[in-house]
Homo-oligomer: A and B are copies of this chain.
Amino acid sequence: MDFLIHLNSKSSRPLRDQIYDGLRHAILDGELATGARLPSSRVLATNLGVSRFTVTDAYNRLLSEGYVAGRHGSGTFVAPSLAAAPIDQHPPIETYLPPAPTRAWSTWSDRAQAVGELSGPAPQQEIDFRHALPDLSHFPHAVWRRLLVRESKQVDLASRYYGHPAGWKELRVALAGYLNRSRSIPCSPEQIIITSGCQEAVDLMTRIWLDRGDIAAVEEPGYPRSRRTFATAAAEIKRVPVDHDGLRVDLLNERAANAKLIYVTPSHHYPTGAVLPLNRRLALLEWARERGALIMEDDYNSEFRYGSRPIPAMAGLDASGSEPGSVVYIGTMSKVLYPSLRLGYLVVPPDMIDRVLMGKEVSNRNAPHLEQATLAAFIAEGHFERHLNRVRKLYAERRRQLITALDEDLGSIAQFDRSISAAGLHLLVGFDLPLSADEIEAKAASVGVHLDSAHGCYEQPPELPSFMIGYASLDEAAMRDGLQRVRRVLAA
């Protein structure tokens, strides 16, 4: 034999497969040329010290896959069928591979690489002030698991086959009830489309609404992921300033006159926490209606208001007028339940439903079933709103504790807007120090504390190095410990 088969008796790969591998490579590498005769199974078995059956099994596989052909009584040969392919006129494949081409990526991908940022590994610090982190220890795991098991016993076709692109009907019914009760959005289940979190909701709407060169207005500072999604779609980004009351609606004409889309976080501006007051909401609605622009209302953190009742969503104000609505509402379960659930939803005006459904169908057909069904039961049986009420109290208390701790432990350094509405899972804090945000983050990390920089939200860095300090998943002792560590390392 002019080729070698290496058998590794310790490999988990069966010997017959190792023989198959060796022969296949010898054929593809040209060591066994077209028409070459393979050793008889008896000879090869003896040479390799394996049973003849092991070898014939490998030969049969090569035969069935067309690598070799058997001529009855005269042995096994490298398949002539390979000779019929153009490839036989050339030396073995590897030798005529062209040099590695530069891949011709799409312009969409080029833009994604240019503006995007891959999720890095999660922080691994002892004390983690990550900004969008709910307290998992207060999630009703046992209740959820009971419902999960119950729903997993549904093995009928409706539960196990492809679903409707809008999502599991019971979930849409449950969400419509919740949105009517708690967010004053008079929507029907038909207007709700289940997505994979907020990101898919933003991307899906972007696909069906924005063309290259269309203008997308965003808040400045603002949520970087949504801005990047619009930029990746080749939209022209116009940044509209935000003040203590959120988006400066009065500057829309000056800064983003022809916007086709405006993305806002009215319940809890990202990252400042400002709440858009009613008069600005109404003015924004009017502005959008007059132009046929779409308002993308990311109702992020609306569930977490601690001072007063939530202001009705813009989608609710919008629906009080006539058709067609100007607001597409985005909700997510990432903060109210947990992020890896990957469930979010869109509420769209009735005339937009068909377009969104088709977009979803092309993107990924529909969301997975089991956790949709579990969430539907979780809402319908009242666990969802009970859970929200419980963690709302918990987070309100933790927010107070954070503010006290900031005052007592970092009083001379930490600056934040004391009049901002008590809401959300984080507080935006500037550090009055001659250090960059990166330097502060690194120093904090050196003493086991993770701080989330807010600078990705800004076009121009804010006056002070600023952080979105999450308080929802830390108890008071951990917060104090963390801030004291930060103070010590910053003083050093």
Contact = CB atoms under 8 A, between A and B. Distances in A.
A65 B308 contact: yes
A163 B339 CA distance: 8
Contact of A340 (B81, B104, B334, B369): B369
A28 interface: yes
A67 B334 CA distance: 31
A364 B194 CA distance: 12
Interface string A115-151: 0111101100000000001001101010011001100
A87 B286 contact: yes
A364 B199 contact: yes
Contacts of A90: 286
A310 to B, nearest CB: 8
Contacts of A254: none
A155 interface: yes
Interface of A: 13, 21, 24-25, 28, 61, 64-67, 79, 81-82, 84-87, 90, 93-94, 97-98, 100-101, 103-109, 112-113, 116-119, 121-122, 133, 136-137, 139, 141, 144-145, 148-149, 152-153, 155-165, 181, 184, 195-197, 199-200, 203, 207-211, 214, 228-229, 232, 260, 277-280, 282-283, 285-286, 289-290, 292, 307-309, 311-312, 317, 320-324, 334, 338-343, 351-352, 354-355, 357-359, 361-371
A290 B152 contact: no
A246 to B, nearest CB: 12
A145 to B, nearest CB: 5
A81 B277 contact: yes
Contacts of A359: 108-109, 112
A85 B203 contact: no
Nearest to A367: B342
A357 B118 contact: yes
A368 B279 CA distance: 39
13 contacts: A64-B307, A81-B279, A97-B321, A105-B209, A112-B355, A136-B160, A159-B340, A160-B338, A199-B362, A203-B364, A341-B370, A363-B363, A368-B371
Q: Which of A87, A229, A278 has the most CB of B within 10 A?
A: A278
Given A312-B65, A351-B103, A363-B199, A139 B119 contact: no
B278 A79 contact: yes
A154 B173 CA distance: 29
A21 B164 CA distance: 34
A363 B203 contact: yes
Contacts of A209: 104-106, 109
A397 B229 CA distance: 50
Contacts of A290: 98
B371 A370 contact: yes
Given A136-B155, A286-B87, A363-B199, A25 B79 contact: no
Contacts of A184: 21
A279 B155 CA distance: 43
B286 A118 contact: no
B67 A278 contact: yes
A104 B355 CA distance: 12
B87 A283 contact: yes
Nearest to A277: B66
Contacts of A228: 362
B155 A208 contact: no
Given A103-B352, A277-B66, A145 B141 contact: no
Nearest to A61: B309
Nearest to A250: B86
A355 B66 contact: no
B97 A368 contact: no
B85 A200 contact: no
A311 B184 CA distance: 58
Nearest to A165: B119
Given A108-B359, A119-B162, A196-B196, 13 more contacts: A65-B311, A82-B282, A85-B283, A101-B324, A108-B208, A109-B358, A112-B355, A119-B366, A136-B157, A228-B362, A342-B364, A342-B368, A368-B368
Nearest to A85: B279
Contacts of A163: 340
